[in-house]
Every structure is written in C-alpha cells, then in structure tokens.
Amino acid sequence: MPIYEYECETCGLLTSALILNPREEETLRCEHCQGKSLTRVLSRFALHKTESQRLKEFNPRAPRDDSFYKDSRNVGLWAKKRSKELGVDLGDQFEEVVEKARTSNHPEDFEP
Ligand SMILES: [Zn+2]
C-alpha cells in the first residue's frame, strides 16, 4: 500500500496519506492545521524533526556516540573473559548482569 508521510511546513506535524493517484498529493491537506505546504518524508529514519520533537526525544543520559556505546559493551565481555582466565566462577547472576550491561542502551546504569 502506498502510504506516505508528509511533514507540514506550517505546523511541523506529520500527516500520513494513502496515495493511489499521484494527483491526490496536490490536494492533500495537513490533518492538523489544514495547511497546504506538505513535504513528503521518505522514511521515519530520514525524518526531519521539528525543534520541539527533538527536545522531547533528547535524552541527556544517552551515550554520546557509537564508540562510547561499543566500549561499554566491551567492558562486559572483557570482565567475562578475564574471570574465565582467573578461574573465577562468577555465577549465573554475573552473566545476567553482564548481559544486561552489554545490551543496555544506557550502559552507565550498570553498576557491578
Ligand atoms: Zn499543519
């Protein structure tokens, strides 16, 4: 189904529309403010967000970038490997904690 999303240039909100005929695009109105200036957005990932949307989704505790995130996950792996080398059995609970730390989006929440 050709469902497209359009961003309203007037209010910045999205309107989803089922477009069967390209000419329907021309008569499309914003469902929030009835504005006529709509820009098709290609995907949710390429979405151009308004300032208020960005602010709402901004998480100050989120990792700064990918490398930080990867490093944090490596800590769990490293601890696991090291404990095996030392012959220490940290038990199932530790495994669980490490797994949580590795898969968490907020590695700083991890406290061993
Ligand atoms: Zn609008």
pLDDT in tens, 86-97: 777 666 666 676
71 with 102, same domain?
yes
53 with 7, same domain?
yes
105 with 72, same domain?
yes
CA of 102 from ligand 1 middle (Å) equals 41
Q: Give tens-digit pLDDT for 42-58.
A: 755 445 566 677 667 66
* pTM tops 0.85: no
CA of 54 from ligand 1 middle (Å) equals 17
> Bridge-partner residues for 5, per DSSP?
16, 41
CA of 34 from ligand 1 middle (Å) equals 6
CA of 107 from ligand 1 middle (Å) equals 38
Q: How many domains does the chain have?
A: 2
Domain coverage including residue 90: 66-109
H helix intervals, 1-112: 51-57, 66-85, 91-103
